[in-house]
């Protein structure tokens, strides 16, 4: 069921029997705030994933929790809310998610009582291309005299090499034990297999597991016994760059399991500036362009799975050897340009334009205030200096104008590095 493009709930059945209902709750901005699972095996308990966003619209915090409802009214039972785990994300850009850190909640509802993990994962980028994953341990550094640690310990987990077929993200990885996994992709750059340096499948223990994907990215696996699973996750040791992984799509960071273990979890995928549900073919955040990018603001890649959307708001066909700059932004239509045509700048989006409009208004107000201040200072200075004749009036006007302009100029110089809007940059350590 949908309402104004927003998916409110859907049901899952097995052999015509209702097994699960999934509910969606939204912020006023249109981004999903909660994904809640009701399984018929535990009809009075809910599994919930709460999502919180930063000021720039990026997903900041995810909290997993369970709670109970009254068997008759289906209303929330007081004090039954128990947060189990929280995970924080930080970004350098929409696709460049550089940090992932877990928090132990200890069953506390107050985030101030949560304990951050001593080790967290840091991803190093060149532009939007990942080059390495590190584990940063805050408690293993050399201890100072007061017993506190001096510097965190950085341990490299893996190094990435760019792809060679399509996209501009990872195409292979070198692990901490010096083993290499080469990614093998399909037409849209999805990782359908890996091989080691000898050309053999060195990732899995036992029989090889075949990996494929549905049209919109839900993972499908078949083990050595021929058992097929849809949406149950990738095999152990499989890269996190899976569906459209060569374009930077990342899996494995967010999934919500219900209480019915026979049904697959809800798994979200990090796709550029937004997070995406491949089982539904929808984003959980609305398009920042609004309906200018299409009437359905949650649709993925114009509902055409042969397209890719590495930025989370820009769709184009995955032609090998091309990037997003080789396609026309205006109406998301794939029209390759001749190589001699200058690179066009993408049209600004609504969110990008807002800080520019604010800056323009501030500039206009600044110069208007300066003009009024100058006139006022000239009049006052002229009156005061008028006793000295025309020369005194001129000198008084100049001094009076300067008395208004100089303090304002100094004050502006002192504050010129402060961002006018969070979208223009600044310190996000307080997210």
Residues 113, 255, single domain; the answer is yes
Going by C-alpha positions, the residue among 323, 196, 174 that lies closest to residue 247 is 323
Last residue of a domain, one of 275, 293, 311: 293
pLDDT at 394: 66
Considering its fold, how many domains does the chain have in total?
Answer: 2
Query: Does pLDDT of 271 surpass 90?
Result: yes
Class of residue 404 by CB neighbours under 10 A (exposed 0-12, middle 13-18, buried 19+): buried
Q: Is residue 81 part of a domain?
A: yes
In terms of domains, do 68 and 170 share one? Answer: yes
Tell me whether residue 126 is in a domain.
yes
Residues 389 and 255 in one domain: no
Is residue 365's pLDDT more than 60? no
Residues 178 and 72 in one domain: yes
Contact 269, 217 (CB under 8 A): yes
- Whether residues 153 and 22 share a domain: the answer is yes
Specify if 148 maps to a domain: yes
The answer to the question of residue 430 being in a domain is no
pLDDT for the residue 144: 55
**Distant-in-sequence, close-in-space partners of 64: CB < 8 Å, separation ≥ 6:** 47, 48, 49, 83, 84, 85, 86, 256
Mean pLDDT (the chain) is 76
Whether residue 170 sits in one domain with residue 58: yes
pLDDT value at 332 more than 50: no
Same domain? For 17 and 124 the reply is yes
**Which of the residue ranges 14-18, 195-199, 311-315, 372-376 would you say has the lowest mean pLDDT?**
372-376
Mutual angle of helices 389-414 and 350-385, in 10-degree steps:
150
Does 8 reside within a domain? Answer: yes
Give CA–CA dist 304/317, Å, rounded.
9
Residue 218 has pLDDT above 90, yes or no: yes
Q: Is the pLDDT of residue 410 over 50?
A: no
Query: In this predicted model, what pLDDT tens digit does every residue of 114-124 receive, in sequence order?
Result: 888 888 889 98
**Structural domain of residue 412, as residue ranges?**
357-421
Residue 257 is predicted with a pLDDT of 95
Question: Which range, 39-48, 100-109, 383-392, is most confident?
Answer: 39-48
Q: What is the pLDDT of residues 136-185, one digit of tens each?
A: 887 765 555 555 556 788 899 999 887 654 555 667 888 888 888 888 88
Residue 313 near residue 274, CB atoms below 8 Å: yes
User: Is residue 194, in this structure, part of any structural domain at all?
Assistant: yes
As a 3-state breakdown, the chain gives helix, strand, coil percent values, each rounded to 5, of: 20, 35, 45
Q: Whose CA is closest to 233, among 216, 249, 211? A: 211
Average pLDDT over residues 177-202: 82
Residue 374: pLDDT over 80: no
- Look at residues 240, 269, 293 and tell me which one is the last residue of a structural domain: 293
**Chain center to CA of 143:** 35
Same domain, residue pair 287 and 409: no
Q: Are residues 141 and 31 in the same domain?
A: yes
394 assigned to some structural domain? yes
Residue 344, pLDDT above cutoff 60: no
pLDDT tier at 300, thresholds 50, 70, 90: very high
Residue 312 lies inside a defined structural domain of this protein:
no
Instruction: Using CB atoms within 10 Å of the CB of residue 399, give its burial: 0 to 12 exposed, 13 to 18 middle, 19+ buried.
Output: middle
Average pLDDT over residues 266-274: 94
Buried b (16+ CB within 10 A) or exposed e, 272-290: bbbbbbbbbbbbbbbbbbe
Strand partners, 20: 12, 39
Give phi and psi for 407, each to the nearest 5: -60, -40
**What tens digit of pLDDT does each residue of 76-93 get?**
898 888 888 999 998 887
CA distance linking residue 193 with residue 211, whole number of Å: 7
Average pLDDT of span 353-367: 49
Alpha-carbon span 262 to 247, nearest angstrom = 32
């Amino acid at each position: 069921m949908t309402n104004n493009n927003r998916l409110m709930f859907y049901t899952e059945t097995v052999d015509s029997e209702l097994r699960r209902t999934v509910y969606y709750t939204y912020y006023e901005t249109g981004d999903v705030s909660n994904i809640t699972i009701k399984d018929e095996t535990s009809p009075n308990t809910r599994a919930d994933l709460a999502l919180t966003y930063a000021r720039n619209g990026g997903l900041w915090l995810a909290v997993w929790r369970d709670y109970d409802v009254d068997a008759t009214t289906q209303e929330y039972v007081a004090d039954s809310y128990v947060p189990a785990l929280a995970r924080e994300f930080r970004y350098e850009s929409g696709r460049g998610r550089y940090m992932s850190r877990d928090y132990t909640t200890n069953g506390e509802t107050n985030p101030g009582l949560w304990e951050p993990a001593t080790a967290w994962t840091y991803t190093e980028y060149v532009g939007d291309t990942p080059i390495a994953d590190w584990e940063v341990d805050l408690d293993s550094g050399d201890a100072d005299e007061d017993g506190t640690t001096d510097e965190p310990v950085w341990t490299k987990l893996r190094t990435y090499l760019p792809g060679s077929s399509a996209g501009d993200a990872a195409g292979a990885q070198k692990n901490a034990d010096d083993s290499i996994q080469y990614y093998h992709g399909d037409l849209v750059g999805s990782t359908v297999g890996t091989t080691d340096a000898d050309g053999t499948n060195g990732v899995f223990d036992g029989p090889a597991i075949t990996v494929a994907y549905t049209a919109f990215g839900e993972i499908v696996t078949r083990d050595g016994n021929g058992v097929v699973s849809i949406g149950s996750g990738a095999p152990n040791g499989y890269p996190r760059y899976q569906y459209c992984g060569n374009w930077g799509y990342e899996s494995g960071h967010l999934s919500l399991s219900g209480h019915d273990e026979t049904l697959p979890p809800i798994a979200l995928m990090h796709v550029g500036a937004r997070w995406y549900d491949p089982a539904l073919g929808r984003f959980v955040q609305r398009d920042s362009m609004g309906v200018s990018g299409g009437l359905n603001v949650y649709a993925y890649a114009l509902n055409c799975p042969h397209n890719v959307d590495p930025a989370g708001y820009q769709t184009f066909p995955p032609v090998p050897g091309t990037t997003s700059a080789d396609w026309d932004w205006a109406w998301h239509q794939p029209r390759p340009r001749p190589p001699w045509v200058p690179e066009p700048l993408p049209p600004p989006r609504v969110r990008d334009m807002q800080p520019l409009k604010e800056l323009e208004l501030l500039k206009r107000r600044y110069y208007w205030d300066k003009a009024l201040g100058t006139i006022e200072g000239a009049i006052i200075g002229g009156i005061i200096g008028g006793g000295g004749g025309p020369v005194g009036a001129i000198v008084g006007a100049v001094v009076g104008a300067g008395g208004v302009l100089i303090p304002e100029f100094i004050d502006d110089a002192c504050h010129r590095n402060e961002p006018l809007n969070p979208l223009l940059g600044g310190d996000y350590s307080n997210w």
